Amino acid sequence: MSGELELQDRRIILGLSGGIACYKAAELARELVRAGASVQVVMTEAATQFITPVTMQALSGHAVVTSQWDAREPNNMAHINLSREADAILVAPASADFMAQLAQGRADELLALLCLARPAERCALLLAPAMNREMWAHPATQRNVAQARADGATVLGPAAGDQACGEIGNGRMLEALELRDELVAFFQPKRLAGRSVLVTAGPTFEAIDPVRGVTNHSSGKMGFAFARAAAEAGAQVTLVAGPVHLATPRHVCRIDVTSARQMHDAVLPLAPRHDIFVATAAVADWRPASAGEQKLKKDGSGRAPSLELVENPDILAAVARLPVQQRPWCVGFAAESHDLVRHAREKLQRKGIPLIVGNLGPATFGRDDNQLVLVDARGETELPAASKIALARQLVQVIAERWEPHPR
């Protein structure tokens, strides 16, 4: 999460149906508010057995609504008024019984009534299932979930893992941060829907001996942010990552590698199967000609052992040289220490690709923010300093506008 208000001005109804996962809804409400959303909590009677409306009111900053007969509404029509003001209804947890109500069009309580009465064209419905693994697997539940999807709902999860009952399996509600990010992603324009994107990220590590190696300060954060932004935009994303300690963005397929040659061998077979290739990885230009089988020891002479370096394969250039029918649309990154635009344009011409994204590496490695310059045949375009996820979303927009498919 970038820390910025990614749900600024969004009006969200957070619905709670009955289930132990209601405890997660407290943290979820807090995270949605932190992201800038206005959160109105609606609870079923069963939900109030697991967590109190007082708690949810304190976290959301709004009085919780629990009854369709709530007389605080001037016209006594909370089910109409609330849904007309909302951008989305997120039901978390969504119990098996609640999804059965939706599938059958029943409106026994306010929350189901809200979902039934919402203007579907401008108020989305998202469901986060939470239940025992056997309940989730039951054919009736699966029919009801399928019907809810067919009726326009988006189903988030569930996850697999330990359950409150002591069993292990599918049925866990997604965690609060996961649901927040799913909601953020839901509102992103689907500019890359139907496209496949291959991304490299992070540094590479070139072994000198079993404990030492040649690497760089790249954190991988920009590449991981782009992978997340591309997935938010509807793309199928494959991320080839060097040695970094970052969580995999949701809905992204990740392949971990260590060295430049491993990254090359992972990328080249995948590239022809993708529409777009974005090479954000800071790949080591050289590697030791041979790695010692044992740790190199000091001998007291004061002289360091000689280290012969050989050039690593150029992954981006190799992809750019693929036959036109197999070649994805390529975007390179140039992390420079000086003369950024000049070096970026030289790299653009040397690699023979349509777009280079330049940044000053020493000023951005490890940080959550960045500033970029886009270099192509049109000239240079600056993307001012912003969080890396915000810049990644801008870059997605640029790529979506400029991408031209090669004949396949």
Say how far apart CA 293 and CA 386 lie, in whole Å: 44
In a domain, 295, yes or no: no
Contacts of 231 (CB under 8 A, 6+ apart): 185, 237, 249, 250, 251, 252
Contact call for residues 64 and 15 (beta carbons, < 8 A): no
Where among 186, 205, 224 does a domain terminate? Answer: 186
Average pLDDT, the chain: 90
Residue 87 lies in a domain: yes
In which domain, by residue range, is 307 found?
A: 196-290+303-402
Which pLDDT tens digit goes with each residue over 153-178?
999 989 888 777 787 888 899 999 99
In order of 35, 293, 320, 345, 376, the CA distances from 350 in angstroms are: 42, 36, 10, 9, 12
pLDDT of residue 268: 97
330 belongs to the catalytic site = no
pLDDT in tens, 225-269: 999 999 999 999 999 999 999 999 999 999 999 999 999 999 999
Whichever domain contains 165, its CATH number is 3.40.50.1950
In a domain, 283, yes or no: yes
Q: Which of 22, 115, 123, 165 is catalytic?
A: 165
Lowest mean pLDDT segment, chosen from 19-28, 134-143, 166-175, 340-349 = 340-349
User: Do 126 and 45 fall within a single domain?
Assistant: yes
Residue 93, amino acid = P
Q: In which band, very low, low, confident or very high, does the pLDDT at 366 lie, cut at 50, 70 and 90?
A: low
CATH number at residue 206: 3.40.50.10300
Q: For 288-303, write each residue's pLDDT tens digit.
A: 888 777 777 777 776 7
Residue 2 has pLDDT above 60, yes or no: no
Same domain membership, residue 250 and residue 176: no
Residue 308 and residue 253 share a domain = yes
234: left (phi over 0), alpha (psi -120 to 50) or beta: left
Average pLDDT over residues 186-195: 95
Give tens-digit pLDDT for 384-406.
Answer: 889 999 999 999 999 999 887 76
Same domain, yes or no, for 179 and 242? no
Cross-sheet strand order for the sheet of 154-155: 38-43, 11-16, 88-94, 124-129, 154-155
In sequence order, the 6+-apart residues with CB closer than 8 A to the CB of 273 are: 196
